[in-house]
Structure 1
């Protein structure tokens, strides 16, 4: 019971951390003008109510620029189980090469740094965060990125971008967070997708090797 409570407390801490750094997180990747209207304390303006977060949360088989799609997403009429665009390189899935660059983008990377290293890692010059590089990763004995850790980042980032105040199955946002977490794990652990797992983990380990003080294995 104590272990489960500890995990729950840690998850809540990570949720609050990302929620509070939403503006810094987005402006570390996008132009600051694109994040106008977003604040660290109010979630109701996020999700499909905001152009940037709405685009990032749009299912990969839909076009955010389509007014009908926007209306359906905002109203809750459209609830998709497809991968959201924020998981793809360039934040736009390529139907012809769906998993090319999957999970490999600066937003996911900086969310991972915020959770496992320190929020100061959101600085565009990541060398500024080196003095704090031990962070949660060192405390947890984490020396390299793992599949469950990536699934956790995807899970937390999705909730940070959405407008819901708490994890729930009610309201307009009916996204299944548990499904997302386990879908990422199932995909990367699929023997037929071993090439993707290798590419994703290598990309993260190389990207954060210096910050986590992990020698570059590649």
Structure 2
């Protein structure tokens, strides 16, 4: 019973945040310098994608250089040498849009827009507007959280809730299901109570 209520609450909160995401992403892109021309609309998707330079630069596969005018023309004209497929990694997935052919995982999933989107959905819309951390401090907790929790013991309830939330996010976002999810959720909810 409590697990169902927790799931409903999490789904509702995530739904609210996802609904506001379209407006937030348009706003973030319009804040870029230089300002996109024309401005990106949160209401109208026509003229976006590869037909708007600001969005095209973000979704251009890492294998191509969007700054090259020929690349732009060939992608927009569906040239067979410039195909964009589901297997193409878009530039926005990488930190600072840089792809390393020698180490393709370097910077992957650390693109500023991707991190902001993740924070908007999974933490809060206000956390997505915070300044982006640099690589060295990315994994550290903020000082105010470290000082507040230093010396405190974590309880079984803390760990149980973290495991429950992680499992729920994994199942919801990535479609990964745990064969024992029902029994595990019951165990976790018992631990929480």
TM-score by length of 1: 0.48
2: CA distance, partners of 1:27 / 1:144 = 37
Cα RMSD over matched residues?
4.0
Partner in structure 2 of residue 64 of structure 1: 66
Partner in structure 2 of residue 115 of structure 1: 121
Q: Which has the higher contact order (CA 8 A, sep 6+)?
A: 1
C-alpha displacement of 1:109: 1.5
Aligned: 1:79 with 2:79: no
TM-score by length of 2: 0.53
2: CA distance, partners of 1:144 / 1:75 = 47
Aligned partners of 1:25 and 1:110 also within 8 Å: no
Ranges in structure 2 where 5+ consecutive residues have no aligned partner: 133-160, 177-193
Q: Do the aligned partners of residues 13 and 79 (structure 1) sit closer, same or farther apart at CA in structure 2, a change above 3 Å counting?
A: farther
Question: Residue by residue, what CA displacement relative to the aligned partner does 1:112-133 show, whole Å, maximum 9, x if unpaired?
Answer: 111112222232458xxxxxxx
Aligned partners of 1:23 and 1:35 also within 8 Å: no
Among 19, 23, 41, the alignment partner of 1:20 is: 23
**Residue aligned with 2:102, SS:** helix
Structure 1 segment 130-209 matched on structure 2, within 5 A: none
Aligned partners of 2:17 and 2:124 also within 8 Å: no
Partner in structure 1 of residue 107 of structure 2: 101
